[in-house]
Chain A
Amino acid sequence: MQKRQQRAVPERFVVRRATLYFDRFMNQFIKVGGLSVIVAVSLIFVFILLQVFPLFRGATVEWRKDMPVPPGQYVVMGTDEWSELPFFVNAGGEVLFVDTVDPGGPHNRGHFTRTPGLADEATVSAVAFNEMQTQLLYGTVDGRFAIVDVQYKATFPERGGREVAVELDETPLLRIGREGVPVRKLAYGGSGVQKLVAATQEVEGEFELHAVSLAQQRTLLGAGELSVERSYDLTEFLTGEPEQLAIPRDADAVLIGNTDGSVVYLHFDGQEFTRRQVFVPFEDREDRRIATMDFLLGDVSLVLTAHCGANRVYSIYRDPEADMRIWGHTKTFPDLDRGAVFYSASMRNKAFLIGDGRVASLRYGTTETIRWQEDLPVQATLAALGPRYNRLLFLDDQYSLHFYDLHDPHPQAGWRTFFGKIQYEGQATAEYSWQSTGGRDDFERKLSLVPLIIGTLKGTLYAMIFALPIALLAAIYTSQFLDPAVKRYVKPTMEIMASLPSVVLGFLAALWLAPIISNAVPSVLSAMLGVIVGAFGIGYLWGQLPQRIRMLLKPGYEFIAFVPFMVLIAYAGWHLGALAEQFLFVVEDPDTGLVIADFRLWFPRATGLGFEQRNAFVVGFVMGFAVIPIIFTITEDALSNVPEAFRSGSLALGASRWQTAVRVVVPTASAGTFSAVMIGLGRAVGETMIVVMATGNTPVTEFNPFTGMRTLSANIAVELPEAPYLGTLYRTLFLGAMVLFLMTFAVNTVAEVMRQRLREKYRAVE
């Protein structure tokens, strides 16, 4: 092959082999390199998608192991943080611990029993479990109670690894209610100063409800002994036979579930009890009887199940009609087959594990979603959700303990959270809201992107209202009427404006412009309006002048001639606005009785909307600086590129320069203009620094020009540095970035396609 080639080609045409190889190499190199750059760039979207994807996955639960547990009449089950040493409490108050690490191994402690050293061997008549604080409550047959803290601690023995140790720390037995009468049900709530215990007793067939508030002495060594501060007889508040009792962590209420299906809400203000509310959670169901009533994390939501299997959440919020905090129905979950047998709330989030024996269901309170639900192969009697939200433990009726691994990193995520209305805890209505951090650990995150999208649209809207007319008018003037000699300088000047860093614009907007504008809103508005009206007026008057005078101004220089008028009009408009403020925007200060003419005070009072110094109006104005040059340049290009034949033809037929511009040039270039507007829109949507600096960054869902907003882009800049890697917030911010990406990408694609089509059109006529 090579030999033949050598013979056929004369010596002087033979190319050095190195050149050929190098050429071939470069060809391949460029192809591979170029393609991989393009692929890499498009991977941005793939990467963002990959970050977002896990948000929309449900929980996965996997069986890990089974373990036998000594038989007993267990009523409570709990577990430690690592789910290594769960405990079971029987009706007699004995606590059984089961070591589940490495069963049969050398260091396995098997199972062992601890009995709380209740002072005088009192007989236990009731056991309750406060899951959030891992506290057990014992009521005795003689009308006393004790609180037992199950204190887990990780120890690190010599042989390495970790071993969970446990200690029981109990209070002495304290009196509650009638002496000598067994306690039937009891509940405890307390954190910080206020602590409250309530118990029911049955005296000669009649039910009684008693409560005590507890006081804790503070000693130098820390918390001291608990003692009863005050006793209350709450029997008068009972409306039926009490079956369930619950006291929230703040110890400001007692909730009583009656056998007839009603719930009584007693409010405790630290001194006295009042009956605030009686409600029937399952009023619309045939069988209203309540099976279980338990708190979600934070103790402001109650998860209730009915004997018929219905499952609802009631939350406490300030009712605008009643003007006080009462309980209301907020969430409804799909029915179970019957009333819940077991319940366990997460200590990390608003999830809870519930089930009726066969069916176990992991549900999320905030979003009303079922994270996971399955028919168990056994009949479960007790269940616990690992405090780290990573284990499910079930005890079945054959005394076998079943371990499941739970993997659900983003339980709150879902379409509803991001794009739907949700009635969050403490809110009277369902809302779109964004609030990613709160003061307390049990804070319910609000992650709706809707206020951010609305904020983005709001900023864009005001930017476009301001930028669009100026940019389009300037582009028409520059391309159609302006003297080409001047145009050579005008265009680069406007392009320089496009290159102004947005951090500079943001800084000027926030620290320089915002105070000026907010001090003189009427002046600014009237000056703006004045300039617009003035342009019409002067244009009209100019047209009326005799030709002799009009000849003095060379066409294409009107924009310079307008400068002195503009200065005058703006000056006059500014003062006229201030004058108008004196008469129109007058309010009386309620404190001093002083009559003040100030738009800043008048606007909120007249419209009921807010007024902030850093607002959408300022942002719109300054974002104009960023958007105007983009729209201007592209529109001007499109208009200038309209084939000259169109213009000449129109002018030759006797049309004026305005008629030519508006009826011939502008319609021809409409696609280009449209694409310019789209690209400007894309820039406004994604603008970050101006919005971060010139607004208060408060998420809003209204379009009031005198309040700020929070946009998707600003939200990322503000929140991402604080978001834990791969956490729900981190991924949600990526979702926000994806929405932003898609918004701008869609807008830009439309623009680009339009522009290409326009180019083809011109090619056709040329």
Chain B
Amino acid sequence: MKQVDDHAAQSTPRPSAPASGSGRPAGETYVWVTGMGLTVGLTMIVLLLALVVYNGVSVFWPRHVALVEFQDDGATRFRDGTRALGVILIEQDRDMRDLTPEQRDSPNPADRREKQLFLGNRDAFGQSFAYFSAGDIERVSYPEEVIRAERMEWGDAIFFPIRLELQDADPIEADDPAFDSTLHKLVDEVNARRAAITRIERHAIGQINLQMRDLELEERFYSRQDALTPEQQAARDSVRDRMEQLRAKYEPLAAEAAALRAKQEENRLVYRLVTGDERSMPLGQVVHYYYPNRLTLAGRARLFAGHIWGFLSGYPREANTEGGIFPAIFGTFVMTLLMSVAVMPFGIMAAIYLREYAKQGPLVRAVRIAINNLAGVPSIVFGIFGLGFFVYFVGGNIDRVFYDRALPTPTFGTPGILWAALTLALMTVPVVIVATEEALAAVPRGVREGSLACGASKWQTIRYLVLPASAPGILTGLVLAMARGAGEVAPLMLVGVVALAPNLPVDAIFPFIHLERKFMHLGFHIYDLGFQSPDSEAAKPMVFATTLVLILLVVVLNLLAILVRNHLRKKYATDKF
């Protein structure tokens, strides 16, 4: 086929070929018009990818912090002062309606422009971003002593450090050479302690809580009974005993966590805001800090990599607008994996049936058309089906049969990762069937006939010859299905995705894989951050970064599929009988 294509290109006439009376080939104008279609299409995709990559990457780049000073006689003030400290993000034209008549007619175009600054310190200023009229800015400088610190709450802080107040030592002033190294050491300690607290609370106490919940359900079941048999009474007493034991285990753990927490508050950092206000915070608040105006390029690159790693491996904070997206990546991964496990055997089986077993006729053709069509049915239809059938019908019945003690609290009768995976499996099964069928059809007839003639059974032929030959094609279908599943959001919103899941669907607590749990998903994370968060401006960098991760994931999966397909084509081009 490819050869033929090349041949066609050679035979394409040069524009010199005479065709019409004017001696010029007719319709060259329209060739350009069709070319415009392709140019626009390609530009769109390139621009979009560039936009996402640029915005997604620049989130992590440690940028300079500018000290902006306004003219004394100008109208612009920041909290009654003439200075503002922050990262300059953009400069743009101001809305005509906001301008005074003087500004509108001013000869200086800077009067009609404004700069957006990221200020940080949401706890002090109440806002993270501000616009300042560019015309009123007198001077912009980049003071070296400025620190930008990522905190557990209230977002980043940008400030001039004053001193460290230590519990068991003299305070260290900011100009002391030991200041930076001490702060660095203390922040490391704080982070280690925070990890320890998380370990205790999330894992040890979390496990106790889960066991406690199960026991409470059992206890409730017994206490609801009118009369208990002796065995039941014994069982109830043992349940109560175990509850006591758990409570006893819980106490020291909680105490340990509380002690660690108290230690987090011991040392304080005193700092000055650009407005001159002096504030202080416990070091337990600081996640990490740096001097944005002192960094070398290499230092910046190192921080950049660190930020990216923190984003990919961290847990979200502050209604998802800060911290990392690890649970979302993990949730997407587990869900896609479950989906693949569900979709692969069924999709392949159906395709083998259609191609190798079913008698080819109008009925099979109709089935094939129907399956092709199902691939085009909107995903939300699968979502509503998943909610109605899997969650309410199947899940509700499972609850009634196996989890009746927990009722009316649903266990499987509520959206969860299993139902999400099954719904997406149903949605992608047509993709797998179609791809597998194509791959099976591409295996030449001669291969099958030869095998059968050698005395192999039909199943042996399929198992040892047809399937291995078509494996790459099947794999392509599966990868495409995974890409589609990973990027889909609409049905997931109905069947199990949440903005913030307290627990991962897979963890160290028996039975390790918790199929009934709700989970986080990259796509839904984008939707939730961009549209449900109270401060969508503050969330925007996070959305872009998450978007970049999701696009990378999907594009890589698709490229993989395309590569496999191309490889396959070449293979069969030479393999023809």
Contacts and interface: CB of A to CB of B under 8 A. Distances in A.
B211 interface: no
B16 A688 contact: no
B262 interface: no
Nearest to A567: B43
B37 A13 contact: no
Interface string A360-404: 000000000000000000000000000000000000000000000
Interface stretch (A121-129, A337-345, A412-420, A748-756): A748-756
A499 B365 CA distance: 28
Contact of A737 (B5, B20, B384): B384
Contacts of A753: 369
Interface string A551-588: 10001101110110010000000000000000000000
A203 B297 CA distance: 101
A499 B385 contact: no
Given A507-B526, A659-B26, A41 B429 contact: yes
A472 B36 CA distance: 11
A536 B29 contact: yes
A745 B493 contact: no
B350 A716 contact: no
A686 B376 CA distance: 9
Nearest to B345: A33
B39 A566 contact: yes
Given A34-B351, A34-B357, A47-B385, 13 more contacts: A33-B349, A51-B388, A477-B37, A484-B8, A490-B38, A501-B550, A511-B530, A511-B536, A555-B15, A563-B43, A566-B43, A656-B25, A748-B377
17 contacts: A37-B349, A44-B385, A44-B426, A473-B35, A474-B38, A496-B559, A497-B41, A499-B483, A510-B530, A512-B51, A538-B32, A559-B42, A644-B4, A651-B12, A657-B27, A686-B379, A741-B381
B551 A27 contact: no
A122 B527 CA distance: 68
A482 B35 CA distance: 9
B384 A34 contact: no
Interface in B411-458: 426, 429-430, 433, 455, 457-458
Contact of A30 (B28, B349, B365): B349
B305 to A, nearest CB: 24
Contact of A648 (B11, B381, B536): B11
Looking at chain A's contact residues, the main secondary structure is helix
Contact of A734 (B29, B33, B35, B388): B388
What 6 pairs between A and B have smallest CB-CB spacing?
A: A34-B353, A686-B378, A473-B37, A658-B27, A539-B32, A501-B487
Interface in B173-230: none
A470 B557 CA distance: 26
Contact of A501 (B30, B37, B523): B523
A718 to B, nearest CB: 9
Contacts of B349: 30, 33-34, 37
Contacts of A543: 24, 28-29
A734 B384 CA distance: 7
A640 to B, nearest CB: 8
A500 B494 contact: no
Contact of B459 (A15, A27, A628, A658): A27
A692 B351 CA distance: 35
Interface string A32-62: 0111011011101001100100000000000
Contacts of B28: 539, 542-543, 656, 658
B96 A598 contact: yes
B14 interface: yes
Contact of A542 (B32, B350, B357, B455): B32
Contacts of A481: 12, 31, 34-35
Interface in B7-64: 7-9, 11-17, 19-20, 24-45, 48, 51-52
A655 interface: yes
B459 A23 contact: yes
Contact of B527 (A496, A693, A741): A693
B359 to A, nearest CB: 11
A283 to B, nearest CB: 48
Contacts of B530: 507, 510-511, 693
Contacts of A547: 15-16
A31 B531 CA distance: 47
Contacts of B31: 477, 481, 539, 558, 657-658
A191 interface: no
B547 A476 contact: no
B346 to A, nearest CB: 5
A685 B373 CA distance: 14
B375 to A, nearest CB: 8
A734 to B, nearest CB: 6
A749 B530 CA distance: 37
A547 to B, nearest CB: 6
Interface string B485-515: 0111110011000000000000000000000
A83 B316 CA distance: 53
Interface in B104-150: none
Q: Give the interface centre of B9, B28, B426, B457 by most chain A CB atoms within 10 Å.
A: B28
B354 interface: yes
A500 B551 contact: yes
B558 A496 contact: yes
A273 to B, nearest CB: 48
Interface in A676-696: 679, 682-683, 685-689, 692-693
Interface of A: 13, 15, 19-20, 22-23, 26-27, 30-31, 33-35, 37-38, 40-42, 44, 47-48, 51, 469-478, 480-484, 490, 492-497, 499-504, 506-508, 510-512, 531-532, 534-536, 538-540, 542-543, 547, 550-551, 555-556, 558-560, 562-563, 566, 589, 594, 596-598, 624-625, 628-629, 632, 640, 644, 647-648, 651, 654-659, 662, 679, 682-683, 685-689, 692-693, 713, 716-717, 720-721, 725, 733-734, 737, 740-741, 744-745, 747-749, 752-753, 756
B459 A473 contact: no
B406 interface: no
Nearest to A543: B28
Interface in B321-371: 346-347, 349-354, 356-358, 365, 367, 369-371
B562 A748 contact: no
B372 interface: yes
A504 B44 CA distance: 14
A473 B374 CA distance: 28
A581 to B, nearest CB: 11
A44 B559 contact: no
B350 A497 contact: no
B554 interface: yes
Contacts of A511: 530, 536, 540, 543
B383 interface: yes
A478 to B, nearest CB: 6
A480 B33 CA distance: 13
A689 B358 CA distance: 38
A713 B490 contact: yes
Contact of A740 (B380, B430, B455, B536): B380
A77 to B, nearest CB: 36
A31 B353 contact: yes
A473 B38 contact: yes
B48 A508 contact: yes
A471 to B, nearest CB: 7
Contacts of B376: 679, 682-683, 686, 744, 747-748
A474 B31 CA distance: 10
A386 B65 CA distance: 71
A495 B33 CA distance: 22
A535 B32 contact: yes
B523 A22 contact: no
Given A483-B9, A501-B523, A477 B380 contact: no
Interface string B527-562: 100110000100010010001001100110111001
A66 B266 CA distance: 79
B170 interface: no
A559 B369 CA distance: 36
